[in-house]
Structure 1
Amino acid sequence: MTVLLAVALAVLSVWYTVSALKFATSRNAMASSDAPYILADQEAGKDFGSLSYLVVVIEPPALEQGKQFVQALSARLRNDTQHFQEVIETIDSSSLDGKKLLYLKPRELRDLEQRLADAQDFIYDLSEEPGLVPLLSLINQEISRALVSKLTEGLLGTSAPSSVGEDPGDAPSLDISFLSALFTEMNSALTAPETYTFTSPWNSFFLKDDDLFSQEGYLTSKDDRFFFILVDDRPQGDSFVKHNAAIRALRAHIAEVQRDFPNVQAGVTGGDALNNDEMVAAQRDTVLATLLALLSVAVLFIIAFRQIWRPLLVVAMLMLALCWTLGFTTLTVGQLNILSISFLPLLIGLGIDFGIHLLARYGEERAAQPDFDTALQTAFVRTGPGVAAAALTTALAFYAVAFTDFRGLAELGVIAGSGMLLCLLASLTVMPAMLAIYERHRHVPAGVWQAFEHDPLGSIMRIPWLTASLIGLATLAGIVLLPLPKFDYNLLNLQAKDTESVVWENRLHDGSGRSSWYALSIVDSLDELRRRTIRFEALPAVERVDSIASLVPEDQEVRISLAKELSTYVEEIEGDWANPEPMLVDDLLTLLSKIRFKLQRDPNDWDAGKRPSEADLTSARAALRAVQARLDNLTEEAATRLLNSFQQQLMADFADKLAFLQDNANPTPITLDDVPPQLRKRFVGKSGRYLMQVFARDNIWEREAMQAFVRQLQTLDANVTGPPVIAFYSIQQIQQGYARGGFYAMLVIIGIIILLFRRLKPTSLALVPVLFGGFWTIAGMALLGLDLNMANLIILPLFLGIAVDDGIHIVHRMLESPKAAQAPLAHSTGKAIVLTSLTTIVGFGSLMIARHNGIFSLGLLSVLAVACSLVAALVVLPLILRFLPAHVPASSSPQSPCSGMTMPDVSPPCSAELKTKD
């Protein structure tokens, strides 16, 4: 009846779980629901929609290849409507046509006007005769004027003072960056014509602002090394890996496009991709580790018990308890989160220990006499209190964690703690019922539980003083000489290093200083947005701020007036830019020689305050020499062909720049309606409020950078939110939760042990494995170079429960028989401790096959901690017992097999007729 009821309850629990259990897939769901940063993030999501994108990062060898790759990939993604609902590869700025000069500051507009005024004759001359040779001829004339008259007007000159009262001597030195850019581009065109893509050198001629003349709107890093595509996917289902199908499809599309662009590297990163890759890896590794653990534990059981059916009864009992736990979780908590889903492996590793202890003692008692009822009662009465205390201490260790402010960790504590109690309940009810069904009328031969013929530790126990001295010295040396383990806060380090999203996140930061993580701040008005943007940008920890503030500039009346003044210099310029005169290589070589000679002139030939810096001159000379050397190695026919092609692109590009100035020199004011819809949707909420995305200057994944970033932002906005803020407080709460939970658990555990033993000495002895095992674990971490992290920190309550359990069982056996406790491996208690420790080591050690670094570190640290507590329980504690006076209970006669028992209801199985080996 007991077994039938247990199975029925398990079936009901599984059915209820399948029909009602939910999954909290958002990491925000694990934090405190009333935390300000969580409320702010939820509010931002409602107002601005989805702020999380899959980020495709493209790293091409040349800009043109990057553009072609982006176009090909984005076209494929738009056609895949099954997986993707929005693809953003460019920002369509056509709504700003005619107004783009208003994005220049007044000072920049004045500077541009001065440059155009200085170069007006140059531009007119070039429009009369477009071409590379005429261009270099004009440059040569301007350098000559600068050298002879020591003036800085002209193409290569600097602007005049832009405001009244400005000292002309403050003007910068002669700028030859255009010359360096021109020669560098010429050399590229001559060196690798097959792969060459034109890059404009004209930006430095006008304003040194690459973005000013960009009309394609590609999303790129500041240095143009990376292109980006933002992809909003269609999540599948409501599991922890609901983005997996879309991410796999996205990577497949990238691989297909890369066949046509083998030199272009690309990958997927972003918050959703990082979370998905971690969950996929964790689930894969956990499944493999669980299968390996179950197989290894089964083999270990069979070897230890030398039979099959009894170990299978323990496994069956554990499976029933796990089913009950699922039902309890669904009924009380109602959901699983990314942390609490790990309760199953925890219970498999720990919950089976209770059945092992009970079954081991039952085997010992049954081997001593044939009566099933008597052997079962004796085993459970003598071992049950220790098992119950061990289960209670481990459960309380988990319950203590439930008092943390971090919701995900609190739910894990409740589920795991309750699961431990349900495993105990199954061990004390279902397992004896199964044993009764299986062997009440079977004759079991002696020697069922004879794992060790002799005590393996007997030799070292014969020299207790030497052994104790060596252990003491080694422990002291480890405490004094070895450093304490560090805590690795970097969440990227938890994943396998070759995980694609992690690789590209790190490459993105190392290559451009960017990250897919940014903080969010919301303001109510455009004026407040501008003020806060300026204040954020002034913070040392902030790299940049993205908002709509820069798209609706201030002082537009002033800027419009200055922009209209530019039309005087550009509106009437026309030229046959598409048909320059064919190149004459000899004329070009002559001009290059003249320019090179002048660039090498003595510093005294230049105006002392206007001479270019030696670094700029060196760069221009080097670029010019490279062009001359390349032309010397080309035939005249090849050189003419390549130079004509370059000249065509150079003049066409100049025409584009000139047309841009002509089209934007008579602007009207920019309003919110002119902002590109993609940006307006992202930065202007349904409520009319404005969003700011704030990026960190340093590596946001490192603790120091993250803390400085969050703290500095909060000085200006107490409600700042976003992934860095949420991660910062989540890590802090988890760390504090485990530390606080461990402290509370230790206090409660000590209280439970005192209630169990009711004396100070056995209570202190039961804590010996915790003390020594803890010291050795810390020393072992230092020797292995193992850091604490967010994944393996859970070992704290695990270690407390396991180490205390071992101590309780040894001390409980001591109270029953002092001599037995001094040689624990000579009886079932010590052997059960070995077996439970080995099953835990095998169970958690199987996690070391994981590629996920966090799971691997959890497995390694668990193996280390359990091994240390096992040695402390089987070596240190028996050594201490050898040096203490033998315990002789005062309340029971020496002949009583239940001497020293603290349980009052042991009389039936402890009758005078009962004989045991002790």
Structure 2
Amino acid sequence: HKKAIAEAVIATGNTLLLCAISTAIGFYAFVPTAYVGASELGLISGTGMLFILLASITVLPALMILMPEKKKHLLPLPIGKSIALFLVRYPRHIVAGATISLLVSLTLLPRVSFDANPFNMSDQRSQSVRTAMRLFQGEHSPWTISVLASDRQEAQRLAARLRQLSEVKSVLTIDSFIPKNQEEKLEQIEDMALSMPPPPEQQKNRPVDWYQQDKKALADLSRALDKKMNADDVEAAELSAMGNLAREIHHFQKLLTNPDQGAVLFDHLDSALLPDLAILLHRLHTLMEAAPVDLSHLPKDLISRYVSKNNQYRIQVVPQKDLRDLHNLENFVTAVTSIAPQATDQPVTVLAAGKTIVSAFKTASILAFILIALFLWIVMKTWKTVLLVLLPLLLALCYTMAAAVLVDIPFNFANIIIVPLLLGIGVDSSIHVIHRMRELREINIHILETSTARAVLFSSLTTILSFGTLSFMHHAGTAGMGKLLTLSVILMIACTLIILPAYLELRSPYKKG
């Protein structure tokens, strides 16, 4: 039992060391990037790989020695032999299919996008996110661009230029809250005030004969209408309107049978025709006393939004289109920054953060490939073997990005971590398969019939199960990460255990005899 464990450690030690260092290099390549999250992920994961290596060759064998010995031998999976026979019979078809899939994937790569909108990563069923989405659809977008000007005149000049952009719906400055053309409007108000009658005096008590006065006024109105309707110069439309009014007045007069009932009816008539007329007239006279409005008349809270304590003026730029669309966001930010390079706020930071992350992961991925390839070449002494190790990884990355386009899962702040994870998983699996196929060079056993294939498969399946559960979460970012990771690991299994062995059946010098 102890001897078998020791032999297993000796046989796999070099491969484990090679896998650990290659994977650590891949993770460490993300340390110098500008994205702090990726940098810390690379440092933690790369160092973690070295601890895992140490535990795999020390703690794990020790635990296996302490466990009771099992006499039962593991049998090869029947499905492994079936797939192996299929690979031996149809390697050209598999390689051709993989090549066609690669070409299709390459055509889809330009459509790969990065969604930097944090709202799309949140729980889409939460009330806050639904409210934010409704704001995006409305006229008042929650995302605007802010530009700072050194003085009020510069703010006015920049605002005038920004209003001419087709991507801009409106531009707000502190001057937007001060009425325009005040002199002309004040003159118009003064003219209106001259023609306004004096405000009515509010009477605390009604006169004693108010009922008789109202009744007499109503009778005078009725007679005046009758006289007007009998005139010759009345138009048909006016005659019809006066006739309707006269009939209503006559009907109302018939209801005035006694003073008590008439008082109630007159109160209802006053409420219906002239509600709060005196108050409204007093308010109108107050409005006629308007004076010029300047910055000092605005609320302090409003001023603080657009004027800083050191007298810098803020210009708020409102977008014309929905900024949830990446194309609209890019056009809006590009147009505004072309006039005001110092522009900032949510649209600018979101777009810049997305570009920074994409650039960081591109640079780190290229650096990781180069460093891993150099390390493998130093160890394996041949570029052909290095390319065989990296082949499944490259294919899986291309297939994953193409699949992300087809299933409409854009990359974001959460699922972008599949790139370093796929590097680690892919390099490990490829090294184990290539190393074992070297050992099987003179043995009539296919790689899929070995424990190495089972180990690669089960290791990948545990990764799928652990990350796949994230797909059922309400948080859209976490769920998308789980889906994309599950998809990428499945593609990695196919590339490592199907496409690579099929290719080696045709070209590899390690093809079994």
Range into which the TM-score falls when normalised by the shorter chain = 0.7 to 0.9
SS of the aligned residue for 1:424 comes to helix
| 1:724 partnered with 2:347 | yes
The letter of the residue matching 1:824 is I
- The residue number in structure 2 matching 1:701 is 324
Contact 1:820 1:826 in 2 (8 A): no
Identify the match of residue 26 of structure 2 among 397, 405, 412: 397
- The residue number in structure 1 matching 2:248 is none
SS of the aligned residue for 1:840 comes to helix
- The residue number in structure 1 matching 2:90 is 467
Deviations 1:887-912 (CA, angstroms, capped at 9, x unpaired): 59xxxxxxxxxxxxxxxxxxxxxxxx
- The residue number in structure 1 matching 2:421 is 798
| 1:423 partnered with 2:52 | yes
Deviation at 1:838, TM superposition (A): 1.0
- The residue number in structure 1 matching 2:480 is 857
Deviation at 1:783, TM superposition (A): 5.2
Counterpart CA distance in 2 for 1:389 and 1:596 is 104
Question: Any stretches of 5+ residues in structure 1 without a counterpart?
Answer: 1-369, 599-640, 889-918
Identify the match of residue 445 of structure 1 among 64, 70, 89: 70
Counterpart CA distance in 1 for 2:319 and 2:270 is 42
Deviates more, 1:671-680 or 1:854-863: 671-680
Q: Percent identity?
A: 27
Contact 1:386 1:812 in 2 (8 A): yes
Deviation at 1:555, TM superposition (A): 6.4
RMSD: 3.9
Deviations 1:413-471 (CA, angstroms, capped at 9, x unpaired): 333333333333333444345445x25xx6x23346x2x43452323433546532332
Contact 2:92 2:502 in 1 (8 A): no
- The residue number in structure 2 matching 1:542 is 168
The structure where helix makes up a greater share of residues is 2
- The residue number in structure 2 matching 1:916 is none
Deviation at 1:556, TM superposition (A): 5.2
The letter of the residue matching 1:848 is S
Counterpart CA distance in 1 for 2:349 and 2:277 is 48
Counterpart CA distance in 1 for 2:405 and 2:337 is 36
TM-score by length of 1: 0.45
Counterpart CA distance in 2 for 1:414 and 1:818 is 38
- The residue number in structure 2 matching 1:494 is 121
Contact 1:769 1:872 in 2 (8 A): yes
- Give the alignment of 1:470-869 within 5 angstroms: 470-479=93-102, 484=108, 486-487=112-113, 489=115, 490-510=117-137, 512-552=138-178, 560-570=186-196, 572=198, 574=200, 594=237, 648=271, 652=275, 659-778=282-401, 780-781=403-404, 784-818=407-441, 823-869=446-492
Alignment CA distance shift 1:564-1:855 (3 Å):
same
SS of the aligned residue for 1:375 comes to helix
Deviation at 1:575, TM superposition (A): 9.0
Alignment CA distance shift 1:793-1:387 (3 Å):
same
The letter of the residue matching 1:395 is A
Deviations 1:109-156 (CA, angstroms, capped at 9, x unpaired): xxxxxxxxxxxxxxxxxxxxxxxxxxxxxxxxxxxxxxxxxxxxxxxx
Deviation at 1:658, TM superposition (A): 5.4
Counterpart CA distance in 2 for 1:707 and 1:393 is 38
Counterpart CA distance in 1 for 2:112 and 2:279 is 57
TM-score by length of 2: 0.77
Contact 1:822 1:878 in 2 (8 A): no
SS of the aligned residue for 1:498 comes to coil
- Give the alignment of 1:172-251 within 5 angstroms: none
Alignment CA distance shift 1:529-1:885 (3 Å):
closer
Contact 1:520 1:722 in 2 (8 A): yes
Counterpart CA distance in 2 for 1:673 and 1:726 is 33
Contact 1:710 1:725 in 2 (8 A): yes
Counterpart CA distance in 1 for 2:352 and 2:461 is 37
Contact 1:394 1:798 in 2 (8 A): no
The letter of the residue matching 2:70 is P
Alignment CA distance shift 1:547-1:785 (3 Å):
closer
Deviations 1:849-879 (CA, angstroms, capped at 9, x unpaired): 2122222221111111111111222222222
Counterpart CA distance in 2 for 1:729 and 1:568 is 59
SS of the aligned residue for 2:344 comes to coil
Alignment CA distance shift 1:778-1:526 (3 Å):
closer
Contact 2:31 2:42 in 1 (8 A): yes
SS of the aligned residue for 1:877 comes to helix
SS of the aligned residue for 2:341 comes to coil
Deviation at 1:672, TM superposition (A): 3.4
Counterpart CA distance in 2 for 1:748 and 1:375 is 35
Alignment CA distance shift 1:823-1:576 (3 Å):
farther
Counterpart CA distance in 2 for 1:653 and 1:393 is 85
The letter of the residue matching 1:550 is S
Alignment CA distance shift 1:647-1:571 (3 Å):
closer
The letter of the residue matching 2:150 is D
Deviations 1:206-231 (CA, angstroms, capped at 9, x unpaired): xxxxxxxxxxxxxxxxxxxxxxxxxx
Deviation at 1:759, TM superposition (A): 1.4
Counterpart CA distance in 2 for 1:535 and 1:830 is 65
Deviation at 1:845, TM superposition (A): 0.8
- The residue number in structure 2 matching 1:155 is none
Counterpart CA distance in 2 for 1:495 and 1:505 is 11
Counterpart CA distance in 1 for 2:29 and 2:93 is 36
Deviation at 1:729, TM superposition (A): 0.3
Deviation at 1:559, TM superposition (A): 5.2
The letter of the residue matching 1:840 is T
Contact 1:822 1:882 in 2 (8 A): no
Contact 1:837 1:866 in 2 (8 A): yes
Deviations 1:160-203 (CA, angstroms, capped at 9, x unpaired): xxxxxxxxxxxxxxxxxxxxxxxxxxxxxxxxxxxxxxxxxxxx
Q: Name which one, 1 or 2, has greater alpha-carbon Rg.
A: 2
Counterpart CA distance in 2 for 1:561 and 1:680 is 28
